[in-house]
Chain A
């Protein structure tokens, strides 16, 4: 069974700090990775995707991928209370199917 593992949290950070969310995956064949944000009772929305080793930055968000270590992370700079949500990591496997982790709850305290 291909798996994506995330720490369930909650991860609590003060407003303005950097939040670091981590994810590991089991399928070495996975090529694309996605971070979705999900507010309580709502559907997931895409924050970032990454498919090359290294860093990818988009505004306050940076995704990091290390295929050798099978590790994906999401950094949120200048965290805001509105960033409080569950963050889902997903790996794309063969057949364009996404395998999701259980999510990390992030709480940003003002």
Chain B
């Protein structure tokens, strides 16, 4: 089955700790995105990548880092510099070759800082 997987589903982090969220897709999509969602709010863009080995900051990139070494994978690291990391993190991918630009979402990772 084609789709996007995120792991882990739940993640607990201690203060001052870096953690990495995994995002993998087998849809052969070029573009991948990371969003953060806080309760009662919409999705905010953290980082995005339109092609392998290239990525750009979104609206709230401070305290986060990414890499895009493979087309299928776009991991997100939440660093200790992120002051309020507790949130629901969503990864998405997009086929840039389609006539419309639907983004498909993974199931999400819920991160809690202890």
Contact = CB atoms under 8 A, between A and B. Distances in A.
Contacts of A90: 43
Interface of B: 31, 33, 35, 40-45, 48, 50, 56, 58, 90, 94, 96, 100-108
Interface stretch (A39-47, A57-65, A68-76): A39-47
A44 B43 contact: yes
Given A43-B107, A44-B90, A45-B105, A96 B42 contact: no
20 contacts: A6-B42, A8-B40, A42-B107, A42-B108, A43-B90, A44-B90, A46-B103, A49-B102, A51-B100, A88-B42, A95-B50, A95-B56, A96-B31, A96-B94, A97-B33, A98-B103, A100-B35, A100-B42, A101-B42, A103-B40
Contacts, number: 55
* B interface secondary structure, majority: strand
B105 A97 contact: no
A65 B77 CA distance: 38
A34 interface: yes
Interface of A: 4, 6, 8, 32, 34, 42-46, 49, 51, 88, 90, 92, 95-98, 100-103
Contacts of A92: 101
B37 to A, nearest CB: 9
Given A32-B100, A92-B101, A96-B96, A102 B41 contact: yes
Nearest to A89: B42
Contact of A4 (B42, B48, B107): B42
Given A43-B90, A51-B100, A98 B45 contact: yes
Nearest to A34: B102
